[in-house]
Every structure is written in C-alpha cells, then in structure tokens.
Amino acid sequence: MALPGKVHIVEVGPRDGLQNEKQMIPAAVKVELVDRLTAAGFPNIEVTSFVSPKWVPQMADGAEVMGRIARKPGITYSVLVPNMKGFEGALAAKADEIVVFAAASEAFSRKNINCSIAESIERFRPVCEAARAHGLRIRGAISTALGCPYQGEVEPAAVGYVARLMKELGVQHIGVADTIGTGTPRATQAAMEAALAHYAIGDISGHFHDTYGQALANIYACLQMGVASFDTSVAGLGGCPYAKGATGNVATEDVLYLLRGLGIDTGIDFEQVVAIGQWISGILGRKAFARAGNALAARSAPAAAAAA
C-alpha cells in the first residue's frame, strides 16, 4: 500500500508527557505550552486529565488549565477521564473529546486497577453514554498492546479483544499503545491487524514509546499499512515508569522529521515545534529527548549567535 499523503498528529505532551514529572509544573507553563502547540498547527492536543490528585498530583490543575488556554476553532482539545467524576470535570471544562483507556494485558489491568480487562471497560459504559448524550467525541487507548512489564508478551488476539469491547461501548477511535516500548515492526503490524478487525483504518492510531529505540520503525510499519494517525510528545516528554532512565513517548520532532522526509503532510510547523521542545526542556532543566530537535537546535545556535 502507498504511504498516506497526510498524517494526523495528536500532541500528548501536556498530559501524557508532563503527568509523571516529579517537580510541580505551574499552570501558567502548561497553558503556555498548549498555546504554543496550538500556534504550531496541531489539529489535536491532549491537554490534561481529570483524575484524582491523590494519584496524579501533576494534573490537579486540569480545570484551571482548560479554562485559561487560548482555543482555536478547528482544533480538538482532549482530556483523559477514568470515571464519571472525571467526565463531569471534562464536561465543565468544555473538552472537545474524552479519552478512555484499558490494557491489553490482564496482569497489567489487575496490578494497576485491581480488576479484569472486561470489568475495567464496563466501568466506562456510563462515561461513554454520557459523552454521546453531550456530543463529545470518544477516543480510546489500548495500553500494553505490545508488551507488559508483568506478563511479558501480549498476543495480538488480546488487542483485538479490547478493540471489540471498546467498539461495542461506542468508542469512535482507538489507539494501539506500546506502553513500555518493547514492540518491533512485525509485532506492531500484527497488533494493528487485530484492531483493524473491529475498526476502520481511519479510526485507528499508533502510540509508541521509544524505550528500545523502535518507535520510528514502528510508525513506519504502520504507515505501510495505511495507518495515518499517531500520538507524539514534544521533546519526548514522558519517561517510561517501567524502565528506569528510559525515554518514554516518541518525540514529536523526530516523527515530524521522518514524515517530512517521506513527503507526508501534517500541517504542523516543524521548526516551531523544535523551538517549543527546547523551551519546555529548558523549563524542566534538562535536554530534550528529541534527536531531530536537538540536532536542528544545535545547527541553528551558531547562526543565532552570529546574528546577535
């Protein structure tokens, strides 16, 4: 199959990227990050989550952040919700889309939320019914689709099982997520094929972590199948909690560089994203986890110094 001519990028840095940061990030910084991403042309930005601050203290200011961002028509501002209380927060914050989630690994589901996969999805039934009643789009995420820190390998059939349950629940778009970054291209295609048994190609996306350096290869494998939607995180924000010291989400800058080289349109300003990645990494006091971004920034630095 020919590669897609256009790819839809969901920028997850503000939510998935920042949620595990130990230092508390001021709401003003989060707002500025979202506003900069809006200006760079992202069609969909995952802003925050409405979860208990006891479990994710970094996202406790979700309502404030949603209330302060400068929204642009045509851009989808998403929030993650775990339950009806979270949905009520999302509704009050005027989110355009909610994100619900389930694991493809029974071991992961029981270890993290103390219930089976089927039970975890059933908990989202009232959430999805309420979202449909209020006209909110519902996006789902299948975590540990390519590997689990507790059970190891995850079979494609398990991905298909969760995709089927989410489809029955009314989830309109499904993301296949390599939570621990162990997936390789062939395994990625098998997982995607399992999800495609229940969702159309335009309603599936890939979410890859770069723990083992396979994220870009896995994205290319998806592109070969016709998958044209991916989650990425500016500056590679978001470490992998199951692999100490490892990078987490694939860096938006690296994905944009790949897609530009393939002649695939995203509608996103690559240079602007590089600047955003360098800025937020400076705020966090570390170097960005974006090889293409760091390379371009290094190349641009001498020119900027000479101009000054």
Residue numbers annotated as active site: 240
Record the tokens describing residue 120, joined without a space.
């975890």
Write the CA distances from 184 to 143, 251, 253, integer angstroms: 16, 17, 21
Please state, in angstroms and rounded to a whole number, the distance separating the CA atoms of residues 13 and 34: 9
Q: How many residues are given for the chain? A: 308
Q: Which helix (H) or strand (E) holds 161?
A: helix 156-169
Structure tokens of 185? 């291209």
Angle at 297 between CA 291 and CA 303, to 5 degrees: 150
- Using CA atoms of 183, 188, 191, 195 in order, give the dihedral in degrees to the nearest 10: 130
CA dihedral sign of residues 178, 182, 186, 191 = negative
Residue written as tokens 């992202």?
42
Half-sphere exposure of 136 (CA within 13 A, CB side): 27
Separation in Å, CA 92 to CA 50, 59, 64, 73: 11, 16, 11, 19
Residue 152's φ and ψ, nearest 5 degrees, are: 85, -120
Provide the token pair at 25.
């990030």
Paired tokens of 271: 């240079």
d(CA 201, CA 216): 19
